[in-house]
Amino acid sequence: MPPRDSEGRFRRVLHSDLWLTVLPAVILVAGAFAFTLLFVKPAPPTKIVIAVAPDEGGSRYYARRYQEILKRYGITLDVRQTGGSLANVKLLADPHSGVDVAFVQSGTAGSAEAPHVVSLGSVAYVPLWVFHRLSAIGDISELKGHRIAVGSAESGTRALAIKLLAASGSDKPPTELLASERDPAIEQLKKGEIDAAFLVAPAEAPSIKKLAATAGIRLLSFTRADAYVRLYPFLSKLVLPRGVFDLANDVPERDEVLLSPTANLLVRDNLHPALAYLLLRAASEVHGTPGLLDQAREFPSPRDSGFPISPAATRC
């Protein structure tokens, strides 16, 4: 039988050897857990919520198309209707709203108001249409002193209208700015109850084509479009070709110069990367075809939206 002190030394050496053997394994396992927690995302949720404003830029139609595409991959896209782009940004900025993604008109707000919101890209032109019942005019400065429908309080239409009217000094009395939504504004204009209406909608919208062909109503062609685009980088200068709405009746009867913001696909910055990629795939399918004012594969694109581009969009 070994002496008691020899037995103690043996146990201490054995204990030391055991730690030297086990410790690296413990560190390895702990490191693996830490890596998983920090860098490996859990499975994406199977349902997300998109905020859309029915009166803005065809977003309700786009949302239906996105629903169909995401359904192929087992993802349910719930649609929440709001009063406009400003409301959509507020919902995205609120982590408790339940909204994950939204269509937002460029120029409505920026990252200062919603620091955890990023852009997957611009997906479509949504031109500003200024229809009026006045004699031929070439700039919105000439609307001063008239009754103008500028859209509801939370709409991107109103935000843009107020910005441009203020820049031209036309937003103060005796100018009357009316918070009419799109359809009521169109009816008021047709009846002569207002002098002009600001509308934001795709060129393909039936209401725009009908209004362009309505007797007594004219479309403003921006003679100072280059100046507006320089001052407001979120706007683009577009030309609506003569006769593109109706060749037989020559509508419009001349080339019209338009100013256009874009519809942008915004998400919270913690959206699962797999869902961001699926949304980008849907955007390419829905918005990649040519239209009356855009070329094939012109969208989606990383244009100025006031929000940083998502890393997922940068990698695509």
pTM: 0.83
Per-residue confidence (pLDDT) for residue 19, from 0 to 100:
44
Confidence of residue 42 (pLDDT cuts 50, 70, 90): confident
Per-residue confidence (pLDDT) for residue 246, from 0 to 100:
97
DSSP helix/strand/coil, 45: coil
Distance CA(107)–CA(119), nearest Å, equals 13
The larger pLDDT score, comparing residue 267 to residue 18, is at: 267
Confidence of residue 313 (pLDDT cuts 50, 70, 90): confident
Q: Where exactly are the structural domains of the chain?
A: 1-35, 47-125+263-315, 128-260
Tokens 């004219």: give the residue: 218
Per-residue confidence (pLDDT) for residue 6, from 0 to 100:
52
Which tokens in the block code for residue 180? 């009419």
pLDDT in tens, 44-77: 899 999 999 987 778 889 999 999 999 999 999 9
Confidence of residue 9 (pLDDT cuts 50, 70, 90): low
Per-residue confidence (pLDDT) for residue 216, from 0 to 100:
95
CATH homologous superfamily of 47-125+263-315 equals Periplasmic binding protein-like II (3.40.190.10)
Answer for the pair 100, 268: CB distance below 8 angstroms, yes or no. yes
Which tokens in the block code for residue 39? 């860098």
Task: Find the range with the poorest average confidence among 43-47, 98-102, 192-196.
Answer: 43-47
Note whether 47-125+263-315 and 128-260 share their fold. Answer: yes
Per-residue confidence (pLDDT) for residue 5, from 0 to 100:
54
Which tokens in the block code for residue 239? 């030309």
| 128-260 CATH choice from 3.40.50.620, 3.40.640.10, 3.40.190.10, 3.40.50.300 | 3.40.190.10
Cβ-in-10-Å burial (0-12, 13-18, 19+) of 305 comes to buried
pLDDT in tens, 239-279: 999 999 999 999 999 999 999 999 999 999 999 999 999 99
Per-residue confidence (pLDDT) for residue 43, from 0 to 100:
78
Per-residue confidence (pLDDT) for residue 199, from 0 to 100:
96
Starting from the edge strand earliest in sequence, which strands make up the sheet with 76-81, in order?
76-81, 47-52, 101-105, 262-268, 117-125
Helix, strand, coil content of the chain in percent (nearest 5): 35, 20, 40
Backbone angles phi, psi at 148, to 5 degrees: -130, 130
Q: What kind and span of H or E run contains 240?
A: strand 236-240
Percent of the chain with pLDDT over 70: 87
Question: Average model confidence (pLDDT) for the chain?
Answer: 88
Which tokens in the block code for residue 61? 């139609």
Answer for the pair 106, 131: CB distance below 8 angstroms, yes or no. no
